[in-house]
Amino acid sequence: MRVGILTIGNELTTGRIQDTNTAYLAGELASRTYEVSASMAVGDSQSAIKGGLDFLLPLSNAVIVTGGLGPTADDITTECIAKAFGLKLYLDEKALQVIKDRFERFKIRWSDNNAKQATFPKGAQPIPNPVGTAWGYALKRNRKIIIVVPGVPREVRKIFPEGVLPILEKASGRKKVVVLTKTVKLFGLAEALVDDALSDVVYDRKTLSIGFYPRFPENHIVLTARDTERKRAQKNLDDVRKKIEERLRKYIFGYDNDTLEGIVGALLTERKLTLAVAESLTGGLITDRITNVPGSSQYFERGVVSYSNRSKTDLLDVPEHTLEEFGSVSETTATLMAEGVRRMAKTDLGLSTTGIACPTGGTERKPVGTVFIAVTDGRRRVCRDFQFRWDRRRIKEITSQWALEMLRQFILGLE
């Protein structure tokens, strides 16, 4: 079955918002062996929406449309689709009541223009929205299916498996296929080297696929198994996952929804360890990531942003003569920062970062992108230096990633 994707919104065509819906829908459809015939984004206008449908429908058995279903004047998708097919609009009383009940439950003031979110072209099948107010709908015209859903990414991710996929499966007439996925998350190895390490892995390409997805600064391997029997799909998935682990175990830090900060937090909790962080280059980014994990107050004591030399001396007891002799960006300073914040906070572990972000501040000996990261427990200490080549934001992001990875390895005794 061929499926087209049409995303609607001036915010997409002007670049104000990134179109994540197309990426999500294309991935979900491909994993279920639907062929994505084409995808396109158009603005909020009658001619653009009709033109998009006119282009995609001849190429597809079904078209999924996202966006423009809200209550405001510029939400014109339903009106445009009705005009394109010469259909009248109708208000679905059941959908309207569900929307009103949601407004009342969340104590949101009702205005009459919200009824627009329960208005559909004549003959459309309403699709409930379990996480938002605007309902979607499916419309059959000339043996083609047009499925329209809201454009909010969180809502698309909920409506697709629950409301859209059953319609596609019924229309395709195919036997229901079990689709299982597993994401293997790696850090510290380039995408090309990941691919090379797995080049000789033997697997049935008809029932399982391996996808490589860089998510800076990580690399993700997505395994997708398809079968009419869940047990067989699970076995195929597990067999390939084990082969990947045999080759890349050193670089694997988690799976599926794991985050590096979450893995570190679980290790700290399990081993009853506490942590304090001193950040210069990263400016609080590591602290932000650590405290995004629920329950982090159990192990995270404090984070200090010691950006200036004076703050390194005043807050972390880094001697002035050390800064003069070795500089603020050095192994010695990074190590003393980690030790200083650990002593000050009376924690088991101290972690620190210092470096030179672009575009200025580098020297011949210490060019832009020079970074030092240190971890200590008062007895052991590890400090590594790096040379990064990206822009300022990416240098900060990869430094925070390496800091958490070094902390993970330190706790596990892998450093």
Domains and CATH numbers, the chain: 2-172 (3.40.980.10), 178-255 (3.30.70.2860), 260-412 (3.90.950.20)
User: Strand pairing partners for 38?
Assistant: 4
Q: What is the DSSP letter of 57?
A: G
What H or E segment, with its residue span, contains residue 309?
Answer: helix 309-316
287 SS3 class: helix
Distance CA 353, CA 277 (A): 9
**What is the tens place of the pLDDT at every residue in 367-380?**
999 999 999 999 99
User: Strand pairing partners for 6?
Assistant: 40, 65
Q: Around Cβ 119, how many Cβ atoms within 10 Å?
A: 20
pTM: 0.77
pLDDT at 36: 97
CA 321 to chain centre: 44
pLDDT at 89: 97
pLDDT at 30: 87
The rounded radius of gyration (Å) of the Cα atoms in the chain is 27
* Nearest alpha-carbon partner for 16 in 44, 51, 36: 44
Return the exposure string of 41-73: e unless at least 16 CB atoms fall within 10 Å of the residue's CB, then b.
bbbbeeebbbebbebbbeebbbbbbbbbbbeee
Distance CA 357, CA 369 (A): 6
pLDDT at 105: 92
DSSP letters for 10-49: HHHHTTSS--HHHHHHHHHHHHTT-EEEEEEEE-SSHHHH
pLDDT at 217: 96
Distance CA 372, CA 406 (A): 12
Q: What is the DSSP letter of 73?
A: T
Distance CA 336, CA 358 (A): 24
269 SS3 class: helix
Distance CA 155, CA 134 (A): 9
* Nearest alpha-carbon partner for 306 in 349, 350, 362: 350
Distance CA 127, CA 308 (A): 56
Distance CA 366, CA 355 (A): 9
149 SS3 class: strand
pLDDT at 31: 81
Write the CB contacts of 270 (distance below 8 Å, at least 6 apart in sequence).
none
pLDDT at 362: 81
Per-residue tokens: 57:
């429908």
pLDDT at 329: 97
pLDDT at 45: 96
Q: Which residues of the chain have pLDDT under 70?
A: 174-175
**What is the tens place of the pLDDT at every residue in 309-333?**
999 999 999 999 999 999 999 999 9
Distance CA 188, CA 138 (A): 45
Is residue 237 within 8 Å of 182, Cβ to Cβ?
Answer: yes
Backbone angles phi, psi at 27, to 5 degrees: -65, -45
The one-letter amino acid code at 127 reads I
pLDDT at 108: 92
Distance CA 355, CA 396 (A): 9
342 SS3 class: helix
User: Strand pairing partners for 35?
Assistant: 2
